[in-house]
Structure 1
Amino acid sequence: MTAGMSEPSGSRPEVRVAGGAVRGLREAGVSVFRGIPFAEPPVGGLRFAAPRPVRGWDGVRTAASFGPPPPQGGHFGMDVLAREVVGDDWLTVNVWSPEPGPGAGLPVMVWIQGGAYTIGMSGLPEYDGGRLAREGGVVVVTFNYRVGLEGFGQIEGAPANRGLLDQVAALEWVRDNIRAFGGDPDRVTVFGQSAGGGSVAALLAMPRATGLFCRAVAQSVQGTFFSPELAADITTACAAELGLRPTVEEMSTVDPARLSAAGDAVGAKMEQWADRWGPVAHRSITFSPVVEGDVLPVTPWQALADGAGRGIELLVGHTRDEQRLLTALDGLLGQVTPEQAETALRVFGPGGSALDGDDGGDGARRYRDAFPAAGPDELHELVQSDWVFRMPSLHLAQAQSEAGGRAHVYELTWSAPGMGGVLGACHGLDVPLVFGNLDRGQPAALIGEGPPPEAAELSARMRAAWTGFATNGDPGWPAYEAERRLVRLFDTRPSVTTYPEEASRRIWQDHTFPVLRLL
């Protein structure tokens, strides 16, 4: 899983962190340190506990390989991939620095990967931070956090949102140690995509994260946040797959891989729970952050509306065709029936819809009126893109702006040429473009063989915007305002224009993205 070639051992950099000394590698002009623990392994007596500070080690610890990932769901074969790296040191960080040493004072970018809060590991090749660090003059940090039942199950006797607490612990490690790698702890930007974007949004609302970062980039924000009752009900169903009660006492006796498999089993048959779990059952969303009043007091939109983000500079956006890849993975691309489209409109459309405890008639009518020429495939795609990613992202910017904070908005509209060119500007396309890793990892398949020159040019523009924002708070276009609604479109010919998804914006303008509850 390690990307790049290391230089001779004599050039291996060493730094000292809170736990002890670590020795990394030099790769293509960048110092790289992998697999540094930021918390104790959350196993044994620490299973399902909040992360604990890591104990020190003697001598110099080799930091050449990624640490073992947390237990994974089975999507995209991630469970198999996770088992290739043996160990329980799940909570580790990785650092890429163009200039290690306490005097460099470089901006820091801390990446939070996505994966529907069910999968995700920092060691994937698409998250290699070398190019971003080398060409952007920033220190890049990636890390693992617990996912699935380990990180987000609502378990009796355990703190909620353990995955989010892991993220806070990683950011605390950055605050306390990043100066040794050439980073400035007062210039930290968190950035993440999908569930990682949802995590960035959650961190904006978390008192425990206050002061740990000054800028935030939220890409394709996953807008699902659970009530404790909904999360507990889903966790109870997962535990029942193994004949267990959802308690620390019983669940801590089960191998983590079996718990992940139980989560997968419930996710595969969630539609049978639609009358109880609502929209998340239709999308098989098993885990999400829980708004329980302590770790996460309110939703991100409410927190920003209340002014929680006034001191944070925000960059937020989405892709144009978020849902299309997910529809393709479901085998429905070009195959959506009128009945399936009608169900999606009724379940996910806002305003007098299933989201509001209604029969969904008004939500469906709004979409049909706004898009009169749209067929079943387009309507199915539009309402789901809007519900889970596009409108949560836009509303985050709107809440920030209306409360007196600053937000910059973008939309990726470049159509990916890979996989026959049918996926458009789909979910996940931004990841290889932002990191500049156009020929490695699963998202690179969206770019296609080559990659084409326009992809390299677009990637360079996006990397410059992201690193520029991390450096000085300016990505290169005006802040979003309610009157003009200016956004940057990333395409072969970039432009700044009024937010282009106006019809969707109007449909959702009065929606508040409340906590998702049991029906």
Structure 2
Amino acid sequence: MRAGGRDAQRQRLHARAGRARAAAVMVRLHGGGFAAGSPVSPWYDGRSFSRDGVVVVTVSYRLGFHGFGWIEDAPVNRGVLDQIAALEWVRDNIAAFGGDPGAVTLAGQSAGGISVMTLFTAPRAQSLSRAAICMSGADRVQSRESAEERGRALAASAGVEPTTAGWSALTEEQALDAQDAFGIRTPPATIDPAAFIRGALMPPEDHGMPFGPVVDGELLPRSVSDALAEGVAADKRLLIGVTGHEFTLWMLHAEEQLRGVDIAGAMTEAGLPPELAAEYVASHPEPRRRPRSSATSPACAPSARRQALRWSRLRAATNADTTWLYDFRWPSPFYGDLAVHCVELPFVRDLLDADGVSRAHGPNPPRELATRAHAAWVSFVTEGTPGWQPWARGVGMVFNETSEEKPLLELEGRLARAAHAAWQDTPAPAA
């Protein structure tokens, strides 16, 4: 089809869409640690949102070193540029599909949530969305200097120059093999409980992920937290939340070493007040089906939960009524009655019949929970509110088989302040 024909077809589609009320749009970014993941997962199907009047766009972006690795003569945030290009496509074309380009909500979980917050605060993307949903995100930030150090080391290990020409000399399989040598860091074989606690409360700046968005001074001039503190995107709406046992499964390798360890005692040894340590451990009762995970559960939860609190408080300081919090607490029987990372995905997307859900959540996950959670997400995308009070009022929604508004993350705030007081060499959390 000639260009003129394509333009005429686009005009007809725009005219046809314009006769109906334009629908709100949700642009979804998949997770996977910036090294894996795919938009074609059955858990990313947009049919339930489409059924409820939302136009859904699920995008791909370059991953791993291809998307975020330092190359001497190439942009460092290539994956972010892919995401921005997708949002620009939505702006220019979504009306032809019945969507409103002025009513775009970003949504993502895990690395997708980090991507959402990156775009939410990136100067170049400010006009491309009006709201965001960040699920289990973190302020995953890497300096340009750290990215360059890693990029040069990776090129040296692959035996090429750290340039586009150097990397182009390798096949894709060879480049991926070189990248694998710089995979997600694994904890040491011997774990000191106090150091383990400190690492959980104050994780490394890149959260153990070798690739991801880089504060390059250009596309991303500052971290998400710094941007929010400066009031960036204060007028936009944000729904943010976590699961009850975010990273516990990833730390089950530590069960044997932590078995029998007094976690509250280890927290006290790390410098935290004993009363606060005991209170926090008591807030994570021993799971019924995986009792050993009681050792890692309270130690792994704080970092993601503290991040949600920090961002919410930074936002509340500039605009009190544009941020909503949730805490997804439904305990999956498959995962030992833990509300693990990713547990909420088929519920908020109302996809309990999708492939793999029964294996992950048992044969009868609660339908009412999916109805309530999905309705909240639809309401936020279409109406700008999930149906409960903004976090500045001091409460958020706790999702479980019975869900209710409750004060959220107050204990994490006290824990973060105590951790900073104990470890003055670490940056002060805004919590």
Fold shared, TM-score > 0.5 on shorter chain: yes
Among 98, 109, 125, the residue aligned to 2:42: 125
Counterpart of 2:23, as a letter, is: L
Among 493, 501, 506, the residue aligned to 2:402: 493
Q: Name the structure 1 match of 2:316.
A: 401
The alignment's TM-score, normalised by the length of structure 2, stands at 0.81
CA distance in structure 2 between the partners assigned to 1:166 and 1:158 by the alignment: 14
Task: Tell me if 1:116 matches 2:33.
Answer: yes
1:21-420 mapped onto 2 (5 Å cutoff): 101-104=17-20, 105-134=22-51, 136-267=52-183, 279-280=203-204, 284-328=208-252, 331-332=253-254, 334-337=255-258, 361-362=270-271, 368=277, 370-371=279-280, 377-378=293-294, 380-387=296-303, 389-404=304-319, 406-417=322-333, 419=334
Counterpart of 1:427, as a letter, is: H
CA distance in structure 2 between the partners assigned to 1:189 and 1:321 by the alignment: 26
Change (3 A) 1:235 1:103: farther
On the 8 A contact 2:184/2:210 being kept in 1, the answer is no
Query: Alpha-carbon deviation of 1:177?
Result: 0.3
Counterpart of 2:157, as a letter, is: E
Change (3 A) 1:403 1:436: same
Counterpart of 2:396, as a letter, is: V
CA distance in structure 2 between the partners assigned to 1:175 and 1:126 by the alignment: 25
CA distance in structure 2 between the partners assigned to 1:19 and 1:303 by the alignment: 43
CA distance in structure 1 between the partners assigned to 2:405 and 2:77 by the alignment: 38
Change (3 A) 1:485 1:335: farther
Among 339, 342, 345, the residue aligned to 1:425: 339
Query: Alpha-carbon deviation of 1:310?
Result: 1.6
Structure 1, gaps ≥5 residues long = 1-15, 22-55, 61-99, 350-359
Question: Aligned to 1:409, what secondary structure does the other structure show?
Answer: strand
Among 414, 417, 425, the residue aligned to 1:506: 414
Summarize deviations over 1:245-290 as a string: whole Å, max 9, x none. 3322211222233323322222266668xxxx99559964211211
Counterpart of 1:446, as a letter, is: A
CA distance in structure 2 between the partners assigned to 1:364 and 1:291 by the alignment: 35
On the 8 A contact 1:197/1:220 being kept in 2, the answer is yes
The alignment's TM-score, normalised by the length of structure 1, stands at 0.68
Change (3 A) 1:319 1:271: closer
Summarize deviations over 1:156-175 as a string: whole Å, max 9, x none. 11112111111111001000
Counterpart of 1:494, as a letter, is: S
On the 8 A contact 1:323/1:385 being kept in 2, the answer is yes
Change (3 A) 1:284 1:413: same
CA distance in structure 2 between the partners assigned to 1:232 and 1:19 by the alignment: 45
CA distance in structure 2 between the partners assigned to 1:366 and 1:172 by the alignment: 51
Query: Alpha-carbon deviation of 1:341?
Result: 9.1
Change (3 A) 1:124 1:310: same
Change (3 A) 1:301 1:103: farther
On the 8 A contact 2:258/2:296 being kept in 1, the answer is no
CA distance in structure 2 between the partners assigned to 1:441 and 1:225 by the alignment: 34
Of the two structures, which has the highest relative contact order with CA contacts closer than 8 Å and spacing of 6 or more?
Answer: 2
CA distance in structure 2 between the partners assigned to 1:294 and 1:366 by the alignment: 45
On the 8 A contact 2:139/2:223 being kept in 1, the answer is no
Change (3 A) 1:282 1:301: closer
Q: Name the structure 2 match of 1:473.
A: 384
CA distance in structure 2 between the partners assigned to 1:294 and 1:475 by the alignment: 34
Q: Name the structure 2 match of 1:88.
A: none
Question: Aligned to 2:81, what secondary structure does the other structure show?
Answer: helix
Structure 2, gaps ≥5 residues long = 11-15, 189-198, 287-291
Q: Tell me how many residue pairs correspond in the alignment.
A: 395
Q: Name the structure 1 match of 2:196.
A: none
On the 8 A contact 1:103/1:179 being kept in 2, the answer is no
CA distance in structure 1 between the partners assigned to 2:410 and 2:147 by the alignment: 33
Q: Name the structure 1 match of 2:351.
A: 437
RMSD: 3.5
Percent identity (aligned): 34
Query: Alpha-carbon deviation of 1:460?
Result: 1.3
Question: Aligned to 1:302, what secondary structure does the other structure show?
Answer: helix
Which piece of structure 1 moves more, 162-171 or 360-369? 360-369
Counterpart of 2:256, as a letter, is: Q
The structure carrying a bigger helix percent of its residues is 2
Change (3 A) 1:366 1:133: farther
Summarize deviations over 1:219-244 as a string: whole Å, max 9, x none. 01133211112222223333233222
Change (3 A) 1:404 1:337: same
